């Protein structure tokens, strides 16, 4: 029995390490979050920004870029004249390639542009993400309870005065010790869920504002697996140029989740 338990723990640790290696590889992408070097909110009148070609601006519906003869690429094609970006609020951005850098355009209330530069100091100094050692006790099962209709849910952001709106399809109930806990879940990838939360470690050993937990799609009877060893930091934990959401009301766990990613080296 002891040997089987030990083998299970070793197998779990190996899988977790593989996941962590891939997570850190993605963080170290030359045009990823660690490559951010600036964030600017677009204005109503066209204006130039240091180090970038042309002029950029926004109106009530979209962002705009006029390269004014400079070289730039969007969606794999040269930008030869003014281009319009009509993006979803709090949704994915789009990127304009200018030489070695990528200029991300996103809608967060108004429109913003962020420069991703492979020469960013944070990228050059990246040493991985401090994490708790993986322990099977932090893999919990729960139940997903869908709402009658998905609910648009407004949450705050790490940027003062900014808010985000996400779709919450339901809640997840689970037990830790003798207590039951309920967390609001947002839509995740591939039919899964995304849970933003804080806990007793937040601001102590883990990033104060939030952590995120990806949950695979619920089974037919609603069962979900909450693997807190894979709780990750949002981009705002690594850079001041992020506009990350805060957890929805009620998503603070009243115990220490000593699992997952800790405060990054960059913030310690």
pLDDT per position as a tens digit, 28-76:
999 999 999 999 999 999 999 999 999 999 999 999 999 999 999 999 9
pLDDT digits (tens, 9 = 90+) for 156-172: 999 988 999 999 999 99
Structural domain containing residue 77: 33-124
pLDDT at 2 over 70: no
| Helix H or strand E segment including 14 | helix 2-27
Q: Confidence class of residue 5 from pLDDT cuts 50, 70 and 90?
A: confident
Give the per-residue pLDDT at 182: 98
The structural domain count of the chain equals 2
Closest CA to 245 of 212, 204, 199, 268: 212
Whole-structure pTM value: 0.90
Residue 2 within a domain: no
Q: Which of 210, 203, 208, 238 is nearest to 129 (CA)?
A: 238
* 105 located within any domain: yes
Same domain, 46 and 104: yes
Exposure string of 217-233, with b = 16+ CB inside 10 Å and e = fewer, is: ebeeeeebebbbbbbbb
Residues 259 and 168 in one domain: yes
Q: Are residues 106 and 192 in the same domain?
A: no
192 plus 134 within the same structural domain: yes
């Amino acid at each position: 029995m002891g040997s089987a338990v030990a083998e299970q723990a070793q197998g779990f640790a190996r899988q977790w390490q593989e996941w962590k290696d891939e997570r850190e590889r993605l963080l170290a992408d030359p045009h990823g979050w660690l490559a951010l070097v600036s964030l600017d909110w677009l204005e109503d009148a066209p204006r130039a920004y240091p180090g970038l070609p042309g002029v950029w601006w926004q109106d009530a519906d979209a962002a705009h870029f006029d390269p004014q003869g400079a070289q730039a690429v969007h969606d794999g094609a040269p930008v030869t004249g003014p281009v319009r970006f009509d993006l979803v609020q709090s949704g994915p951005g789009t990127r304009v390639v200018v030489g070695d850098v990528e200029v991300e355009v996103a809608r967060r209330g108004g429109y913003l542009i962020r420069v991703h530069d492979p020469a960013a100091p944070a990228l050059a100094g990246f040493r991985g993400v401090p994490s708790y050692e993986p322990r099977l006790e932090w893999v919990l099962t729960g139940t997903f309870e869908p709402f009658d209709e998905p609910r648009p849910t407004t949450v705050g952001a790490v940027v003062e005065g900014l808010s985000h709106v996400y779709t919450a399809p339901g809640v997840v109930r689970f037990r830790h010790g003798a207590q039951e806990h309920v967390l609001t879940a947002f839509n995740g990838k591939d039919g899964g869920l995304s849970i933003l939360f804080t806990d007793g470690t937040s601001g102590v050993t883990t990033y104060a504002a939030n952590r995120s937990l990806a949950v695979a799609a619920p089974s037919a009877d609603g069962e979900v697996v909450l693997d807190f060893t894979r709780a990750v930091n949002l981009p705002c934990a690594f850079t001041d140029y992020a506009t990350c959401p805060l957890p929805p009301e009620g998503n603070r766990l009243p115990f220490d989740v000593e699992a997952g990613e800790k405060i990054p080296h960059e913030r310690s």
